[in-house]
Amino acid sequence: MINKLAYNLTCYIESNSRFNKIEELEQIQYSLTTILNEVFKLIILIILFSIIGKLNYLLFSMIVLLSIRFFSCGLHAKTSLGCLMWTIFFFTLTTIIAPILPKLSLSVYCLLSLLSLSIIIIRAPYPNPKRPIKKKKRKLYLKILAISFSIFWIYILLFYITTSTYLNCGIATISLQSLPLLYTNKEM
């Protein structure tokens, strides 16, 4: 359904604009498909986690995740349904399971943070094979931003978040974002 809508929008753009190169139209259709999938996924997540009563943790986890994932990139599912299921599983871990865990010692949080940051430093960015990063300068730029946002969130979590529920949610989000970066050249 989303692919068909993106295709129809691309056809409309093609007939009402100057875009006529196949590569440009393919990029437009890919972008539209991605945007529509993300909007659909966001609506499902907000409805689901509102019903569960965990919308506040979902939104917090999303802010942490998106500020890092946008620059570090990561694994992508082969299908929209696979992506939706993985995303629901991810946010179930970060917004339902992690907040109910007991508060750990500061050294455990620091160790998890250091491990996650190390993975991001070594492996980020991990681009989508359909949108490779061709320029070394761009890759370095994305790496620096991924590292910077990771350090920013780790600092905020460790030194300013006093409740264990948000601390666990944030650390779990960063950890779960960094782990799949170890699995290069694979799709879920």
Question: Are residues 39 and 125 both part of a single domain?
Answer: no
Question: Are residues 42 and 78 both part of a single domain?
Answer: no
DSSP structure class, residue 130: T
Question: Does residue 24 register a pLDDT over 90?
Answer: no
| Cα–Cα distance for residue pair 83/89, rounded to 1 Å | 10
> Which residue did the predictor score with more confidence, 139 or 184?
139
Question: Does residue 61 register a pLDDT over 70?
Answer: yes
Give the chain's domain count.
2
Question: Are residues 182 and 157 both part of a single domain?
Answer: yes
Question: Are residues 179 and 142 both part of a single domain?
Answer: yes
Q: Is 46 exposed, middle or buried (0-12, 13-18, 19+ CB in 10 A)?
A: middle
Question: Are residues 126 and 94 both part of a single domain?
Answer: yes
> Which residue did the predictor score with more confidence, 178 or 26?
178
Q: 33, 52, 71 — which closes off a domain? A: 52
Q: Which domain holds residue 6?
A: 1-52
Question: Does residue 186 register a pLDDT over 50?
Answer: no
Q: pLDDT tens for residues 66-110?
A: 999 888 877 777 777 888 899 999 999 999 999 999 999 999 999
Residue partners of 77: CB distance under 8 A and separation at least 6: 83, 85, 86, 187, 188
Question: Are residues 24 and 98 both part of a single domain?
Answer: no
Question: Are residues 11 and 92 both part of a single domain?
Answer: no
DSSP structure class, residue 157: H
Question: Are residues 113 and 70 both part of a single domain?
Answer: yes
